[in-house]
């Protein structure tokens, strides 16, 4: 799978670990930055991930920050992106099953590295159920 990833300074450490996991699983990863823990303005790194997913250049995207809130907001401003803010495995699973989330947002300051890695695994492995949920997604994307 082609996956775009990006973070601000507060999500940098987890981004690097998630990249290792994804590469180990055989995914094709493009890192949109940032490339250190130096202070940066998160939209500069999150918006390009969301835009690339929306254009269809990547199947999925992962964005990270301190809480993940701002990153999810920025990503969800892009038409065609459905970004789920994930704080545990259940939120990742439901984001895929019910919302067909093509991007997830993770807050490094909010959860352990092990939880973050498990969120990514579950999100990648969970299919969208479609059916009754599909109609709602189509309406949102058409707006």
Report, as residue numbers or ranges, the catalytic residues: 71, 98
- DSSP symbols for 49-107: HHHHHHTTS-SEEEEEESSSHHHHHHHHTSTT--EEEESSHHHHHHHHHHH--SEEEEE
- DSSP symbols for 25-49: TT-EEEE----SSS---THHHHHHH
Whether 117 contacts 108, CB under 8 Å = no
Please tell me the distance from the alpha carbon of residue 101 to that of residue 96, in angstroms, as a whole number: 5
Please tell me the distance from the alpha carbon of residue 70 to that of residue 74, in angstroms, as a whole number: 6
């Amino acid at each position: 799978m082609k996956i775009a990833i990006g973070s601000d300074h507060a999500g940098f450490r987890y981004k690097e670990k998630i990249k290792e996991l994804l590469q180990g699983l055989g995914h094709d990863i493009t890192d949109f930055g940032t490339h250190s823990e130096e202070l940066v303005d998160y939209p500069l790194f999150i918006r390009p991930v969301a835009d690339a997913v929306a254009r269809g250049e990547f199947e999925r995207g992962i964005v990270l920050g301190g809480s993940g809130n701002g990153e999810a907001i920025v990503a969800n401003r892009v038409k065609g992106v459905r970004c789920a803010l994930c704080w545990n495995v259940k939120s990742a699973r439901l984001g895929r099953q019910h919302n067909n989330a093509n991007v997830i947002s993770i807050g490094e300051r909010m959860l352990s590295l092990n939880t973050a890695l498990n969120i990514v695994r579950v999100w990648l492995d969970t299919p969208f159920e479609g059916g009754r949920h599909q109609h709602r997604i189509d309406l949102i994307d058409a707006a």
